[in-house]
Amino acid sequence: MATDAARDSSKTGLVIAAHGRRGMLETAGGSALPYIVRGRHLQVCCGDHVHWQAFADGDPVVISGIAPRRNQLSRQPPRGSKPETIAANISHLIVVMAALPLPDLFITDRYLCAAHLMGVQAAIVWNKADLAALPEAELAVYSRLGYRLFPVSAVTGSGLDALLSWSGQCVGLLVGQSGVGKSSLLNRLVPGSDTATGQLSAASDEGRHTTTASIMYRLENGGRLIDTPGVRDFVPAIPDPRDIAHGFVEIGATGRDCRFADCSHLREPDCAVSEAALKGLIDSRRYESYRRLMNLANQAAGQTY
Ligand SMILES: Nc1nc2c(ncn2[C@@H]2O[C@H](COP(=O)(O)OP(=O)(O)OP(=O)(O)O)[C@@H](O)[C@H]2O)c(=O)[nH]1
Ligand SMILES: [Mg+2]
Ligand SMILES: [Zn+2]
């Protein structure tokens, strides 16, 4: 996306905080620099590998191009506005839940669907285990599907070693409802990151000490973790609704037995998915979750079922 001339005179960096047109990048040498994006054509997000140039001492450096992304997580805002990219080039998606705020499993399903379509590994973290044990029965559907569940506590530190050995030296993205403890987990893993959050958020335009931007931190084991602002709802941006079935692993697999190759698994005859849901072979709440997301995506695409 950079012009040849710009690329020739530019250096490379990694975006570690992004908020609108401003943020922070990490240079190849490891220092953090404030940046600004000029022009409307570049949409920079946390995790982007970018080309940048410095013009005047003390001024933010200017991003002139973005390297092609390996993957990206984007959300579809309501009312048909343009999708927003949350982060790019990640390897692991970590969906954080807790007893409080009350878990919304539909949001969890949507994150897991997005992770599958991005081709990244996903796991569920049950935080605040010091307050309430992991609800094994409610979450059993996820372990049956092969997702790892990690009970942890940002307060006591319990369970964090197991989580870190799963995510390894990779780039993990922490997502989930507001207040589940994403920033607290990061602060436990990277002491002082709460102060850094304030500084980075300030550098990225808002100046508030809350999680308003996605921010990447380096872990002691060499891995990286990205903290994201919490959500009330999450709808992944999936341009073609027919892909959604492949993001629900059990639905994608069962759907191979439907009568129609392009079955949407909503109301077609001889649909193996709806039959499996009726028989309890597919969890009925997961099927409902799939149907809700399909309906949202079809409405966005101008079709209703
Ligand atoms: N008891 C207990 N409280 C926790 C734990 N983790 C976080 N909290 C509390 O939960 C509240 C929310 O924590 P945050 O880390 O700000 O949550 P967040 O997910 O980053 O929230 P957003 O930035 O709004 O998305 C704070 O009052 C924390 O002290 C935990 O493991 N145990
Ligand atoms: Mg936070
Ligand atoms: Zn079907």
Domain regions of the chain by residue span: 4-66, 72-227, 241-300
Q: How far is the CA of 278 from the centre of ligand 3 (A)?
A: 13
Atom of ligand 1 nearest to the CA of 186: 15
Residues with CB under 5 A from ligand 2 (ion): 182-183, 211
Could you report the per-residue pLDDT of 177-210, keeping only the tens digit for each?
999 999 999 999 998 887 555 455 555 443 333 5
Residues 241-300, CATH architecture: Orthogonal Bundle (1.10)
Cα separation, 263 vs 136, in Å, equals 33
pLDDT bin (cut points 50, 70, 90) of residue 294 is: very high
Percentage of the chain surpassing pLDDT 90? 78
Pocket test for ligand 1, best of 19, 184, 189, 194 (most atoms within 8 A of CB): 184
Nearest CA to ligand 1 atom 6: 181
Close Cβ partners of 39 (under 8 Å, ≥ 6 residues apart): none
Percentage of the chain surpassing pLDDT 70? 90
Cα separation, 129 vs 51, in Å, equals 42
Q: What is the mean pLDDT of residues 39-50?
A: 92
Average pLDDT over the chain, rounded to whole?
90
**What's this model's pTM, rounded to 2 decimal places?**
0.92
Half-sphere exposure of 45 (CA within 13 A, CB side): 22
Q: Does 151 contact ligand 1 (Cβ within 6 A)? A: no
Q: How far is the CA of 247 from the centre of ligand 2 (A)?
A: 26
Q: How far is the CA of 282 from the centre of ligand 2 (A)?
A: 34
Atom of ligand 1 nearest to the CA of 154: 31
Nearest CA to ligand 1 atom 21: 179
Cα separation, 155 vs 151, in Å, equals 12
Q: How far is the CA of 104 from the centre of ligand 1 (A)?
A: 16
CB 189 within 8 A of CB 125: no
Q: Which two tokens stand for residue 103?
A: 């878990």
Q: How far is the CA of 200 from the centre of ligand 1 (A)?
A: 19
Nearest CA to ligand 1 atom 7: 181
**Is the peptide bond preceding residue 60 cis, with omega within 30 degrees of 0?**
no
Residues 4-66, CATH architecture: Beta Barrel (2.40)
Q: Which residues pair with 227 in a beta bridge?
A: 174, 215
Cα separation, 271 vs 263, in Å, equals 7
Atom of ligand 1 nearest to the CA of 180: 19
Residue 247 above 60 pLDDT?
yes
Parallel, antiparallel, or unpaired: how do β-strands 148-151 and 224-227 relate?
unpaired
Residue 301 above 80 pLDDT?
no
Q: How far is CA 115 from CA 124, 219, 243, in A?
A: 12, 22, 12
The whole-number pLDDT of residue 168 equals 87
Determine the CATH number of domain 72-227: 3.40.50.300
Nearest CA to ligand 1 atom 23: 211
pLDDT bin (cut points 50, 70, 90) of residue 122 is: very high
Q: How far is the CA of 228 from the centre of ligand 2 (A)?
A: 7
Residue 272 above 90 pLDDT?
yes
Same fold, 72-227 and 241-300: no
